[in-house]
Amino acid sequence: MDPFLVTPDWLESRLKSPGIVVLDCTWFVPEMKKSGHDVYLEGHIPGACFVDLNRISDQDSPYVNMMPPADLFAREIGALGIDNDTLVVVYNANYVSARLWWMFRHFGHDKVRVLDGGLNRWVAEGKPVEKGEPQPAAPRVFRAAAPAEDIVSAEDVLANINGGNATIVDLRPTGRFNGTESSGYPGVPSGHMPSAINIPWTSFVTDTPDRSFLSPEQVKGVLEKAGVDLSRPIISTCGSGITAAILAMQLERMGKHDWRIFDGSWHEWGQRADLPKEKSA
């Protein structure tokens, strides 16, 4: 079994299997004023539960989508009928499934896979969908392990800019990175961190409606073409830590484990007056 991805055929044949829970984690940036839950209700994989990334983020942080405390994550995940023996399959209708994959891994649960191509590929291959809310799952006890050391702070990133060895890769759209488009977050200016390399998240998936993941060999080519030295550690960042996880998962698929995610990403960096910012325009 692929340790990262599953196909629609594989999942369809196991939808009623005990020990497997499917999660829809569709999410949109605030600027879009669109509800992931509404999209879920309009059509989702049969039996899939909706997980709200806003709900399972750190509720006390001034920055959006920050990794939650272990107890909050465990409580919310257990309420979805998931325990530590459950194989979790995550998908979405846009681009955020890798974020939830990373969250599970961060808390020690490696029994998690991403549906390659997400809902778009599922529908394109003629698989069934259902509308509305499914029957609620019976709650289970999920125990979160001690968090992995895979997150860096803004201070860590600043220290790296001032003399560290890691390469900062920013997965936001080029216009947001350059400062020519809105940041996507009201009140937060666009721009980028000094020394960061911009490789939009779309570079790591296919240019097709289903946005399937590129192969590890293709990802290696994308990184090298952009000037990323793969012998050095990588700090992955984006708007709020969502698409940064796409690069993290792709690096894991390549067998490269010396990566970290700047969880606050641009939502934190862009609004902190004490941090240096640049624009390319």
151-269 matches 5-124 in CATH topology: yes
Residue 94: per-residue pLDDT: 67
By CB atoms closer than 10 A (0-12, 13-18, 19+), residue 186 is exposed
Whether domain 151-269 has CATH 3.40.250.10 = yes
What is this structure's pTM?
0.96
Query: Quick one: tokens of 148?
Result: 């992995």
The answer for 105, left when phi > 0, alpha when psi is -120 to 50, beta otherwise, is: alpha
Residue 281: per-residue pLDDT: 63
Residue 106: per-residue pLDDT: 98
The DSSP line for 127-175 is ---B-SPPPPPPP----PPSPPS-EE-HHHHHHHHTT-SPEEEE-S-HH
Which segments of the chain have a pLDDT < 70?
94, 281
Say how far apart CA 245 and CA 238 lie, in whole Å: 9
Query: Quick one: tokens of 193?
Result: 């961190």
- What residue ranges do the domains of the chain occupy? 5-124, 151-269
Model confidence over 74-102: pLDDT tens digits? Answer: 999 999 999 999 999 999 976 899 999 99
Model confidence over 154-192: pLDDT tens digits? Answer: 999 999 999 999 999 999 999 999 999 999 888 999 999
Say how far apart CA 174 and CA 178 lie, in whole Å: 6
* Active-site residue, 238 included: yes
Residue 135: per-residue pLDDT: 86
Residue 40: per-residue pLDDT: 96
Candidate list 74, 88, 238, 245, residue with the active-site label: 238
Q: Which CATH code of 3.30.360.10, 3.40.228.10, 3.40.50.2000, 3.40.250.10 fits the domain covering 5-124?
A: 3.40.250.10
